Amino acid sequence: MKSEWGALILAAGKGTRMKSATAKVMQPILCEPMLFYPLRTLSECEGVSIGVVVGYGKQEVSDYLTKEWPQVAIIEQKEQKGTGDAVKAGFHFWKDYKYMLVLPGDVPLITSESIKQLMRIHLLSDSSLSFISFKVADPAGYGRVIRSDCGIRIVEEKDATEDQLAINEVNSGIYAFSTAALERYINELRCKNVQGEYYLTDLVELFQQYKERVEVLSMDGEDEFLGVNDPLQLAYATNLLRDLLVKRWMEKGVKCADPETVRIGPRVDFEGEAYLAPYVQIFGETSVGDRCSIGSFSILKDSKLESGVSVHPHVVIESSVVRQNAIVGPFAYLRDETEIGPKSFAGKFVEIKHSKIGSGSKVPHLSYIGDATIGEDTNIGAGTITCNYDGKRKHPTKIGNRCFIGSDTMLVAPVELDDDATTGAGSVITQNVPMGALALARARQRNILGWKKRRENINNNDNGGRS
């Protein structure tokens, strides 16, 4: 017995108008590939299995799908001969379903509500083919929906007459098929058109010739069905999505001082009230806790902020966790699974990489902490560096609780400092420091008396005694 619904996303085209070596569906929108958006929409439609047809840039697209959407079937279209050929290439995928959706890969604003409505109409009307149309102020670039006493046709723009070009009802490229009918007629498509391609749109007329029912779902809101084909449309779609996402979170209590400058990605989650200053960007799988504050020009990606965190301006946080009531920045960089503990502080011009900073500890300024574990209530003086790389491998540094690391200390890993250890400013620490000890590792100071006067005499002699 066949399963109910499958869905095919057509993502094989090069997108020549994008003028990019990157496949069109991999162009970024709010730090996600364009392909992410129809994938997410279909994943919100319960019980729909998804396949993606790849072609141009297939390795990049396939790698993305394998990593981020392993449940999705990957189907190769060996030659890009049009949308009809792309659907034929997916036959071994969709033959196992009773009904199939077809979507372009370049419709990032399409919603699951519209897809579900198309599915309902298709079933209620007992149609063999259903598709979404919509009206636009400027129909340039779209296939026109031609209605007449003889039925309904879709004419692609390059094949349209002057009268047909004036029609403003256009095809969304989003279809629902009964696969039994599709299997009967898909091979009757011919490439008798300007582009020399197999048009999926030709099935609308072909189905009617064979007395199959075709249903059109006319919908409002042209932006939802926007197809992205060039950099201008890419920027327009990005701004539309940004507005939608920022508005959604502001309605739930997030405060934005200047909403038009804020960027929030589609996988970001806010757990309560938060304050975002102008020009904040939050992307990837990031979670922001209740009562957090994020300063201007800060960028967060794939990170977690627990409640009460304060992020000052010009901070970058990537793949890291900041615990309750911690403070970060300004001008700090946290990366590679760093964890900042509760009530800790990573301050001005500090970079912390793959390290754990314990509760109440401070790295206030001008330091690099890499591959390190720092205990609780420890203070790291200005200019401290963990020398974690020997040219071949990275090595760990461990600093205990209640330690005091003097300014400009170099910690040459691997090295461990036990609880309550102290280092003198300017020390180069190459050996472990016991509990409660003071470590000094610098040359003894020498004061050379009269050095300046002697230096002046030498300079005078070099100039022939002339002052």
Q: Are 199 and 186 in contact (CB under 8 A)?
A: no
Residue 147 is encoded by which pair of tokens? 């209605």
Q: Are 343 and 360 in contact (CB under 8 A)?
A: yes
DSSP symbols for 274-323: EEE-TT-EEESS-EE-TTEEE-TT-EEES-EE-TT-EE-SS-EEES-EE-
Whether 354 sits among the annotated catalytic residues: the reply is no
Other CB atoms closer than 10 Å to residue 4's CB: what's the count? 13
Helices and strands (H, E) in the chain, number of each type:
10, 41
Q: By CB neighbour count within 10 A (0-12 exposed, 13-18 middle, 19+ buried), where does 466 fall?
A: exposed
As a residue count, the chain comes to 467
Q: What's the rounded Cα separation, in Å, for the pair 68 and 56?
A: 19
CA pseudo-torsion sign 261, 265, 268, 269: positive
Peptide bond into 414 cis (omega under 30): yes
Q: By CB neighbour count within 10 A (0-12 exposed, 13-18 middle, 19+ buried), where does 451 fall?
A: exposed
Residue type, 142: Y
Write down the catalytic residue from 122, 312, 354, 365: 365
CA pseudo-torsion sign 162, 165, 169, 172: positive
Backbone phi, then psi, for 78, in 5-degree steps?
A: -65, -40
Report residue 17 CA to chain centroid gap: 23
Q: What's the rounded Cα separation, in Å, for the pair 121 and 315?
A: 49
Q: What stretches of 55-139 adopt beta strand conformation (E)?
A: 73-76, 97-104, 129-135
Q: Burial letters for 360-397: b for 16+ Cβ neighbours within 10 Å, e otherwise? A: bbbbbbbbbbbbbbbbbbbbbbbbbbbbbeeeeeebbb
Peptide bond into 342 cis (omega under 30): no
DSSP symbols for 440-461: --SPPP---TTHHHHHHHHHHH
Q: Are 64 and 71 in contact (CB under 8 A)?
A: no
Provide the annotated active-site residues.
365
